[in-house]
Structure 1
Amino acid sequence: MKLLETLRGGLVVSCQPVDDGPMDRPEIVAAMAAAAVAGGAAGLRIEGVANLKATRQVVSVPIIAILKRDLDDSPVRITPYLADVQALADAGADIIAYDATDRPRPETTEAILAAIHGAGALAMADCSSLDDGRRALAQGATILGSTLSGYTEETAGRAEGVDFDLIRAFKDLGAFVMAEGRVNTPELAHEAIAAGADAVTVGTALTRLEHITGWFGDAVKNAGKA
């Protein structure tokens, strides 16, 4: 599949600024995306319809799109509704990612996948566990991401570092594997590929300036206490 070959062995940059921060504007997201492509990104991950529309106008690389919602009756945040899928597809998504965990949700994963395929996009399953990946593949997902490992109640203990074990397990399933989640250094990105990932998504370490500044600021302050 040509789209997957474009991403294979490449870096995907997740351009998701801090919510309501000074960089949380479609034109700035699009500029970050263009800069990432100029730096060699093979693909992008973009949240939100307005951001996606702005970004699609300035880049031609594959875009993995999501729409985040905070729901009162479900812990699922990533592309929870069928309408979200259609909106992202209409805005130019090549790949649509969704929460593939087995948690209470407003729409079933089967329905979300059917909507993604019906819209002519590829489906990326944002997973927390091997069981999520198995189920997603059986339902028709094309890409398995380690995105939610450490971010669910059942996997809370894995919240330190990259989940290389999950990446290896996904590779054993024969899936196209996207390493995602806490890949905060070039060395970790290299290790993720070595563990079997087909591509690596990096977000916070590249596009959330407030967090990156905090890392360096803490390091400087702690050095001064030595």
Structure 2
Amino acid sequence: MNKLIEQLKGGMIVSCQAEGDDPFNADPEYMALFARAAEMGGAIGIRTQGIAKLEAIKRATPLPVIGLLKSQFEDGTVRITGSFDEVEQLITSMSDIVAIDGTFRKREGLTGPEFIREVKKRYGCLVLADIATYDEAKACEEAGADCVSTTLNGYTPDTMQYHDGPNYEVLKECVNGLSIPVFAEGRYNTPSEAGEAMKLGAYAVISGTAITRPRVITQWFVEEINKVTNKK
């Protein structure tokens, strides 16, 4: 196994991302500060979206960085690093691992596993396949992905029903059925959920919203308070 991926075993990876009009999206250096804070807290890796944020984080911390670029499929659902140009941008910006959409949806005329196979052939970079189902994870392993993450479970048309909380079942399927590292990602919002993922055999846990998006976290609290106050 690659030594860099070995460094991530049994640890916490923090996804430092901000989008739209979120105040923390105003300057890439804000994400770099989140990455530094994550390192101080014991994180062993960072995941981030966007070239400017990637480069700022690389300057701020020596931790391995999983880089990606987001776009959308025609139905509006998220697509992660969906073109060869985006892969080249991430490699040029020194992304240690490139996260790629490993679902069966097509981009560049290829499904996720087919696209990953071609990326490995062209560039030889480390690839983390973001998947939504076990079948996708297995196909990505066979295509040469170095590791997989359950990132997209709950965010694709076929898995929207799993959007509430972590999907431990797909994690267990991947852990039991694959020989490459499986990262637990997707709505792991509490320490206890991260601990449960590790008990189930996750290689490492990736979490972002609960750590680096105070706007969303505030909304969680407000919604719970409103449930109570609206009943009175």
Q: TM-score, normalised by structure 1?
A: 0.93
Whether contact under 8 Å (1:117, 1:123) holds in the other structure is no
Whether contact under 8 Å (1:18, 1:208) holds in the other structure is no
Q: How does 1:125-136 map to 2 (within 5 A)?
A: 125-136=129-140
Q: Where do 5+ consecutive residues of structure 2 fail to align?
A: none
Change (3 A) 1:92 1:131: same
Change (3 A) 1:113 1:45: farther
Q: How many residues align?
A: 226
CA RMSD of aligned residues (A): 1.8
Q: Give the stretch that moved more between structures: 71-80 or 13-22.
A: 71-80
Question: Of the candidates 202, 205, 208, which is equivalent to residue 210 of structure 2?
Answer: 205
Matched, 1:7 2:8: yes
Distance apart, 1:169 and its partner CA: 1.1
Question: Of the candidates 123, 126, 129, which is equivalent to residue 122 of structure 1?
Answer: 126
**d(CA) in 2 for partners of 1:171, 1:131:** 12
Change (3 A) 1:116 1:56: farther
Distance apart, 1:174 and its partner CA: 1.9
Show the counterpart of 1:86.
Answer: 88
Percent identity between matched residues is 38
Matched, 1:68 2:70: yes
**d(CA) in 1 for partners of 2:217, 2:76:** 30
Change (3 A) 1:152 1:72: closer
Change (3 A) 1:156 1:170: same
**d(CA) in 1 for partners of 2:196, 2:120:** 31
Show the counterpart of 1:219.
Answer: 224
Q: How does 1:30-69 map to 2 (within 5 A)?
A: 30-69=32-71
Show the counterpart of 2:193.
Answer: 188
Distance apart, 1:73 and its partner CA: 7.3
Q: Where do 5+ consecutive residues of structure 1 fail to align?
A: none
Q: Secondary structure at the match of 1:77?
A: strand
**d(CA) in 1 for partners of 2:119, 2:139:** 17
Show the counterpart of 1:167.
Answer: 171
Whether contact under 8 Å (1:82, 1:112) holds in the other structure is no
Distance apart, 1:107 and its partner CA: 4.7
Distance apart, 1:72 and its partner CA: 4.2
Change (3 A) 1:104 1:33: same
Change (3 A) 1:132 1:8: same
Matched, 1:176 2:176: no
Distance apart, 1:167 and its partner CA: 1.1
**d(CA) in 2 for partners of 1:153, 1:199:** 26
Matched, 1:139 2:139: no
Change (3 A) 1:116 1:39: farther
Show the counterpart of 2:108.
Answer: 106
**d(CA) in 2 for partners of 1:28, 1:120:** 31
Q: Secondary structure at the match of 1:69?
A: strand
Q: TM-score, normalised by structure 2?
A: 0.91
Distance apart, 1:74 and its partner CA: 7.5
Change (3 A) 1:121 1:105: same
Change (3 A) 1:198 1:117: farther
Whether contact under 8 Å (1:142, 1:175) holds in the other structure is yes
